[in-house]
């Protein structure tokens, strides 16, 4: 670690780098978000949508964000008045083990800081007990993931994973300095956190994880398919270790969450799902933008006082995943979608069944949705579409005809419904004249509503007009 500190000092002398202990005192609102950490006043921030001027310290962070980051570096709390303690000797900082209840796994040459904690099954994340995760049903998780390979998921053989990294860009230069694992045992939920005290610890962390993953059949993550696993795979390759994920199924909750709640909530970040679905509200949580800087500050100064907040942030992510997976599984298992109280969520579940080709469930829940709920026109129209297509695939043509007829009567401008109804009248009833009348009604409704311009530019309108011309020639 002395070599690393020497390298950092040389870089600071040769390059115009801004370090955390050079940041100004806190001076802004805590709830504002910030861009990614910027390395130099001479570089352009990659993630910003507009150009930002560097502050007096040379950083591209705004003054408010610099102040907030400064507070985390100096005290580990979100106090707006905290400043980094630049006068404290590195040797006088408390050891990490006195701040986080963990220990060194391995030895000085090949080891890392390891924390392990047990949560009782009665522990609640908002309104949801952790015990629900132990009752996850593979059938419902496979449904939400649109992956039949997950039907045999065993909650006791599933590992929840989340990483805290040195940046969000990915690539060979990004490392996961804190890797959290969560898994169920019959008596509770176990959390393990593997922390790199510096880059030298990475090999020991990866070796431990490679052995640990042999205990599981499935990984559960939140956006892990796009971020966490590709990053970890790259680190295993760099350390010439075999890929430990090849034998593991992967249930990525972010995709399931979007399929069920995105239409209503829009924002499907884990924090918003916690608030809106689990009724869980974090208090004094370390903001994501500060986490890489906190670790770099620890490397630079040896000050671990802000690290407990990072450990807690990672722990909350993982226990939330356990509760969320259990809640989603239980909700999907409820009779006819009765656990979903919002019309948008109910329709999303019907859409989910359709995507999984479970057409019987679509028509059962769709019919109940249409009969018993007062819903907005756009939701009702989509439900009629899904129900009509499902009757068609079940080869229940009478029910299909009634559904398309209802859709055409309620939404005459709907070209898809008109085309389906016209096809049925032409080919099943052998009545091209009636089919042509349906097409004419829809085109006239569109023209009355949107004018001549409404009849051009939409391929569905063009297709319906082509069908009408063909039917007229056939009559």
Residue 450 has a pLDDT of 78
Residue 263 CA to residue 267 CA, distance in Å, equals 9
Structure tokens at 58: 């040379």
Phi-psi group of 136: left, alpha or beta (phi > 0 → left; psi -120 to 50 → alpha; rest → beta) = beta
Mean predicted confidence (pLDDT) in 107-124 = 95
Residue 189 CA to residue 186 CA, distance in Å, equals 8
Of 104-113, 124-133, 217-226, 342-351, give the lowest mean pLDDT range.
104-113
Instruction: Indicate if the pLDDT at residue 104 is higher than 60.
Output: yes
What sign has the CA pseudo-torsion 314, 315, 320, 322? Answer: positive
Residue 388 CA to residue 406 CA, distance in Å, equals 10
Distance between terminal CA atoms of the chain? 87
Domains belonging to the chain, first-starting first, are: 2-75 (no CATH), 96-333 (3.30.420.10), 336-474 (1.25.40.10)
Q: Percent of the chain at pLDDT above 70?
A: 79
CB 286 within 8 A of CB 312: yes
Structure tokens at 345: 């969520």
Residue 387 CA to residue 342 CA, distance in Å, equals 19
Q: pLDDT digit string (tens) for 16-68?
A: 555 555 555 544 444 433 333 333 333 333 333 333 333 433 343 455 555 55
What sign has the CA pseudo-torsion 322, 133, 345, 228? Answer: positive
Give the SS3 label for residue 249. Answer: strand
Confidence class of residue 172 from pLDDT cuts 50, 70 and 90? confident
Residue 58 CA to residue 178 CA, distance in Å, equals 29
Q: pLDDT digit string (tens) for 354-372?
A: 999 999 999 999 999 999 8
Task: For the beta carbon of residue 312, count every other beta carbon within 10 angstroms.
Answer: 15
CB 119 within 8 A of CB 189: yes
Q: Count of alpha carbons within 13 Å of 100, Cβ hemisphere only?
A: 26
CB 195 within 8 A of CB 114: yes
Residue 165 CA to residue 182 CA, distance in Å, equals 18
pTM of the model: 0.80
Q: pLDDT digit string (tens) for 295-349?
A: 999 999 999 999 999 999 999 999 999 999 999 999 999 987 789 999 999 999 9
Q: pLDDT digit string (tens) for 152-165?
A: 999 999 999 999 99
């Amino acid at each position: 670690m002395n070599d690393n500190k020497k390298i950092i000092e040389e870089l600071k002398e040769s390059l115009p780098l801004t370090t955390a202990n050079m940041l100004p005192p806190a001076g802004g609102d805590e709830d504002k978000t910030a861009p990614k950490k910027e390395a130099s006043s001479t570089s352009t921030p990659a993630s910003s949508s507009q150009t930002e001027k560097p502050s007096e310290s040379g950083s591209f962070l705004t003054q408010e964000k610099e102040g907030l980051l400064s507070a985390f570096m100096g005290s580990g709390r979100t106090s707006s008045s905290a400043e980094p303690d630049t006068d404290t000797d590195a040797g006088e900082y408390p050891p990490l083990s006195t701040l986080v209840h963990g220990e060194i796994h391995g030895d000085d040459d090949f080891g890392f800081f390891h924390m392990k904690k047990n949560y009782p099954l009665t522990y609640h994340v908002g309104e949801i007990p952790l015990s629900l995760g132990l009752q996850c049903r593979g059938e419902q998780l496979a449904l939400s993931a649109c992956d039949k390979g997950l039907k045999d998921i065993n909650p006791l053989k599933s590992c929840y994973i989340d990483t805290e990294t040195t940046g969000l860009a990915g690539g060979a230069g990004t490392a996961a300095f804190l890797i959290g694992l969560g898994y169920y045992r019959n008596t509770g939920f176990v959390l393990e956190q593997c922390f790199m005290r510096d880059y030298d610890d990475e090999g020991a962390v990866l070796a431990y994880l490679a052995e640990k993953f042999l205990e599981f059949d499935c990984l559960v993550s939140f956006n892990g398919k796009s971020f966490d696993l590709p990053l970890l795979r790259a680190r295993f390759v760099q350390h010439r270790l075999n890929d430990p994920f090849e034998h593991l199924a992967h249930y990525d909750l972010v995709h399931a969450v979007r399929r069920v709640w995105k239409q209503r909530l829009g924002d499907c970040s884990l924090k918003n799902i916690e608030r809106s679905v689990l009724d869980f509200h974090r208090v004094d949580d370390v903001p994501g933008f500060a986490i890489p800087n906190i670790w770099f500050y620890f490397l630079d100064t040896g000050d671990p006082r802000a690290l407990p907040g990072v450990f807690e942030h990672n722990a909350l992510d993982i226990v939330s995943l356990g509760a969320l997976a259990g809640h989603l599984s239980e909700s999907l298992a409820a009779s006819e979608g009765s656990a979903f109280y919002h019309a948008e969520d109910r329709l999303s579940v019907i859409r989910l069944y359709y995507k999984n080709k479970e057409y019987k469930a679509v028509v059962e829940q769709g019919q109940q949705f249409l009969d018993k709920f007062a819903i907005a026109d756009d939701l009702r129209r989509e439900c009629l579409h899904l129900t009509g297509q499902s009757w068609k695939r079940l080869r229940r043509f009478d029910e299909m005809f009634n559904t398309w007829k209802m859709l055409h009567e309620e939404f005459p401008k709907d070209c898809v419904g008109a085309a389906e109804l016209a096809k049925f009248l032409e080919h099943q009833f052998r009545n091209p004249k009636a089919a042509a009348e349906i097409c004419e009604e829809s085109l006239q409704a569109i023209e009355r509503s949107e004018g001549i311009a409404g009849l051009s530019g939409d391929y569905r309108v063009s297709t319906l007009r082509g069908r009408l011309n063909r039917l007229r020639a056939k009559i």
